[in-house]
Structure formats: C-alpha cells, structure tokens
Amino acid sequence: MFCFSLGLMSQTPTDKGQPNNLIQFSGVVLDQDSLTPIPLVYIIVKGTKRGTNSDFSGFFSLVVSPGDELEFHSMVYKNRSYKIADTLKQKYYYAVQVLTKDTIDLPPIEVFPWPSKEDFKRAFLALNLKDTDLDRAEKNLKQDALTYLERNQSASASENYKYVMMAYYTKAYTKGQTPSISLLNPLAWAQFIDAIKKGKYSNKKKKN
C-alpha cells in the first residue's frame, strides 16, 4: 500500500515545467521594413539548450513553459527577446515577431596591387608613358586586329543562349505547320554564303 501511494503521488502535476503546463508556441518572423518572412532565424529558450529555427517561410514552432523567455538571433538583424506570460493557460499560442536590420558601418579599406611602397615606387618609375590614349585607340582599331577578332572571337554565353532559345521558340511556334523561310535571318544568310564559298552547292560534272 505504501509503494502504491508513492506511485500515485508521482503522477500528480505540480510546478511549472510539468507536461500539463507545456505550451506549443508557434509564430512567424518578419522583416520590420518590408514585412517579408525571414528564414533561418535561431529561436532559443533563454538559459537552456532548447530551441529551433525558422523555415524559408519564416515559420517556427517549439514547446515552451509559461514564464520562459525566447531569444531571436539572426546574422543581419538585431537580436530580440520575447517574454511568455507566466499566466498562460492554453496549450497553443501564436505570435508574430518583427526584427530590425542591423546596419554596421565598416571603415574603408584601400587595396593596392603592390605589397610595399618600395614595390610601388619601382613599378611607377618603370611605367611606360610614351603611348597616349589616342595611340592605344589606333592600335586597337587597326584593320588587322579587327579582322583577327572577327574571325576568331566566338559568341558569348548569352548570345548562344539567345540563339538556342530562339530556335526552340521557332520550332514550338511552327509545330504542325509548314516551316517558315528564314529570308530575314542574318545567321541563315551567313551559313548560306559560307556554304557557297566552301563549294557545297557547286555542280561538279564527272569527266568521261
């Protein structure tokens, strides 16, 4: 009978922190200026190792006790705290926490390509200032240089992407129809002229 009475006493809810006093605390963390959700905010119960973090929608949920204090930590926002009233009786509680951006002014940093003043002095004294801006422009605009760039410079990534997407668009637009003639397509004309130069359309008669 004595052991049985001890078992009954151990099941009686008492102070704060027992299962009957726990609260499912949920909420959303928002930016104060734009009211957009803030992801990956760390929410910690002060004085404990319990906590969670907000998802990509700014939503969070954790189990707390009445009287706990929550701390909100983020990399680019000021830390905030939220005190849960010790008189709460409901099992579920919802709140919206707003964070303010933390602006940090760093001192300016000047980056130089020389490791020391002596190296800068040597590079400055060895600087060749004979060519003017006009001389360098004339060198860059020489016909030989332009011809070399015209023949050897390949298309950029953005140009190739636009060409491929335009081809897909044309194929999807003319699906189930007669293919359109590319009379105004400069790329088609360039391919046609290149094929003529290479003799792909020449009529070669076999000699008997």
Spatial strand order of the sheet with 92-99 comes to: 59-64, 23-31, 92-99
- pLDDT by residue (tens digit) across 20-32? 688 999 999 999 9
pLDDT in tens, 144-165: 878 887 778 777 888 888 888 8
Looking at residue 123, what is its pLDDT? 85
**pLDDT tens-place string over residues 32-47:** 988 999 999 999 999 9
Q: Return the pLDDT at 150.
A: 76
> How would you classify the pairing of strands 92-99 and 23-31?
parallel
Say yes or no to pLDDT of 14 above 80. no
Contact status, residue 37 vs residue 98, Cβ threshold 8 Å: no
Q: What is the dihedral of CA 82, 87, 93, 99, to 10 degrees?
A: -10
Superfamily per CATH, domain 19-99: Immunoglobulins (2.60.40.10)
CB atoms within 10 A of CB 59: 13
Sequence spans of domains, the chain: 19-99
Paired strand residues for 25: 62, 93
Task: Give the integer Cα–Cα distance in Å for 178 and 137.
Answer: 50
What pLDDT, on the 0 to 100 scale, is given for residue 19? 53
Distances (CA, A) of 165 to 156, 172, 191: 14, 10, 19
How much is the pLDDT for 184?
65
Identify the pLDDT of residue 208. Answer: 47
Mean pLDDT estimate for the chain: 79
Helix (H/G/I), strand (E/B), else coil: 141? coil
| pLDDT confidence tier of residue 180, bands split at 50, 70 and 90 | low
Please indicate whether residue 205 or residue 129 has the higher confidence score (pLDDT): 129
What distance in Å separates the CA atoms of residue 135 and residue 141, rounded to the nearest whole number? 10
Res. 172 pLDDT band, cuts 50 70 90: confident
Q: Which residue has the higher pLDDT, 134 or 43?
A: 43
Range from 40-54, 97-111, 166-180 that averages highest in pLDDT: 40-54
Q: Which long-range contacts (CB under 8 A, 24 or more apart) does 107-115 make?
A: none
Q: Which amino acid does the sequence have at 188?
A: A
Total-model pTM: 0.43
